[in-house]
């Protein structure tokens, strides 16, 4: 069911001695949805993932994954969740098949199911030709793919991917992102933790921005841009003339002007100001172009943490 909530966290909290690693977070992820979790190192992303998997006990709040409580029914949760950890490791002395067969047996799959799913999963991640080779001969990128194949073999209702593209080259990254979209097409809910904001933006339906153990912001990139950049509209202007930044900043409704180099400027606006900008600039400078820029998650992220730093000073 597309609208079914498969991950729900309410007030989820984890404290280590004096450190509050995760501070009362609320999170919902629906079937077939890809949700990115972002934030600086130590902001609580991995601890949240571990609590959702039942690998660490929360000190407060509750969670439900695929209809089960990870604290009280971790085995049921783990039967339904595929997890690809950051820098996934395998037994180098074993073949890809033996590695995956081991975890598949632990997951309770029969020999027939393992045989049937193994070939399919390896084909989907592009490792069909090297499934019998020892993992010691694999590059890090191939290991990441093998990790995703393990997730696919499980046919999970939830996939949790922690920094899955860290070791991949640009081409492999694009292929990997396509595979993640494939999971969504299968109806799997995907929780994607990553520092690669452009990648998160390209595949995620929503993002949750972690800061100091809390979810500081969550929603679609457009929503977040609206809240952080002071408006939902970002306009790229290409114009040649003196005092461009001041001219643009003086237009009512403009929140921020950022020079992009050359004759290009990015303008954050509270509403669609393309007509006003054109009227203001056209008589005075050479207006070469004006168009909407898609709000960038990178900008949202950087602006948010910039503001946090200023607020702290």
Partner 1 sequence: MPLNRRRGGSPWTGLGTVVAKETADHLSSARMRILEALVFLTALAAAYAAIRAIRATIGESPFLFLRLLTLSQDPLPSFIALLGFLIPLVAIALAFDSVNGEFNRRTMSRILAQPIYRDALLLGKFFAGLLALTIGLVSLWLLVLGLGLLLLGLPPSTEEFLRMLGFLVATIAYGGVWLALALLFSVIFRAPATAALAALGVWLLFALFWSVITPLLATVIAGPPEGVFGPRLAYLNTQQIIDRISPNTLYAETALALLHPATRALGPVLISQLQGALLGAPLPVSQSFILIWPQLTGLIAATIVIFAIAYVVFQRQEIRA
- From edge to edge, which strands make up the β-sheet containing 19-30? 19-30, 5-16, 60-65
Report how far apart, in Å, the C-alpha atoms of 271 and of each of 61, 62, 279 are.
Answer: 39, 40, 16
State the nearest-atom distance from the C-beta of 181 to partner 1, in Å: 22
By the rule CB under 8 A, 112 interacts with partner 1: no
C-alpha to C-alpha distances, 32 to 1, 2, 182, nearest whole angstrom: 9, 6, 10
Q: Does 39 bind partner 1 (CB under 8 A)?
A: no
Could you tell me the smallest distance in angstroms from the CB atom of residue 224 to partner 1? 28
Q: What distances in angstroms separate CA 111 from CA 101, 123, 140, 165, 307, one per listed residue? A: 8, 19, 28, 31, 55
Q: Is 62 in the site for partner 1 (CB under 8 A)?
A: yes
**Diameter of the chain by CA atoms?**
75
C-beta closer to partner 1: residue 88 or 300: 88
Confirm or reject binding of residue 20 to partner 1 (CB under 8 A).
no
Residues with Cβ within 8 Å of residue 215, at least 6 apart in sequence: 25, 26, 27, 208, 209
Shorter beta-carbon distance to partner 1: residue 113 or 272: 113
165 binds partner 1 (CB under 8 A): no
Part in contact with partner 1 (CB under 8 A); list of ranges 81-89, 169-177, 195-203, 251-259: 81-89
Q: Is 210 in the site for partner 1 (CB under 8 A)?
A: no
Residues 240-279: x where in contact with partner 1 by CB under 8 A, - otherwise, as a string: ----------------------------------------
- With binding defined as CB under 8 A, does residue 88 bind partner 1? yes
Q: The dihedral of CA 233, 236, 239, 244: what is its sign?
A: positive
CA-CA-CA-CA torsion sign (192, 302, 209, 4): negative
Q: Measured from the CB of residue 143, what is the shortest distance to partner 1 in angstroms?
A: 10
Q: Which residues bind partner 1 (CB under 8 A)?
A: 11, 46, 50, 53, 55-62, 71-76, 78-79, 81, 83, 85, 87-93, 102-103, 105-108, 147, 150
């Amino acid at each position: 069911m597309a609208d079914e909530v498969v991950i729900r966290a309410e007030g989820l909290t984890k404290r280590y001695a004096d450190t509050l690693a995760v501070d009362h977070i609320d999170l919902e992820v629906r079937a077939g949805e890809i949700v990115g979790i972002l934030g600086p190192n130590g902001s609580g992303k991995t601890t949240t993932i571990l609590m959702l998997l039942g690998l660490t006990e929360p000190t407060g709040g509750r969670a439900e994954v695929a209809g089960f409580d990870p604290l009280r029914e971790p085995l049921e949760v783990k039967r339904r969740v595929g997890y690809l950890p950051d820098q996934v490791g395998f037994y180098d002395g074993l073949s890809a098949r033996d590695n995956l067969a081991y975890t598949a047996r632990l997951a309770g799959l029969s020999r027939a199911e393992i045989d049937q799913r193994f070939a399919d999963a390896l084909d989907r991640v592009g490792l069909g030709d090297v499934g019998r080779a020892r993992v010691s001969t694999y590059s890090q990128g191939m290991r990441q793919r093998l990790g995703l194949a393990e997730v696919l073999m499980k046919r999970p209702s939830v996939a949790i991917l922690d920094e899955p593209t860290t070791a991949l080259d640009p081409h492999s990254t694009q292929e990997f992102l396509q595979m993640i979209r494939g999971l969504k097409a299968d109806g799997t809910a995907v929780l994607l933790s990553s520092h690669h904001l452009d990648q998160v933006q390209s595949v995620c339906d929503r993002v949750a921005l972690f800061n100091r153990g809390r979810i500081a912001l969550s929603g679609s990139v457009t929503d977040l841009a609206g809240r952080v950049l002071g408006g939902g509209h970002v306009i790229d202007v290409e114009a040649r003339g003196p005092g461009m930044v001041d001219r643009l900043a003086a237009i009512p409704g403009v929140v921020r002007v950022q020079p992009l180099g050359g004759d290009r400027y990015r303008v954050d606006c509270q509403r669609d100001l393309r007509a006003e900008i054109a009227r203001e600039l056209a008589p005075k400078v050479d207006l070469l172009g004006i168009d909407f820029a898609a709000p960038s998650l990178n900008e949202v992220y950087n602006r948010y943490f910039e503001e946090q730093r200023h607020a702290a000073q």
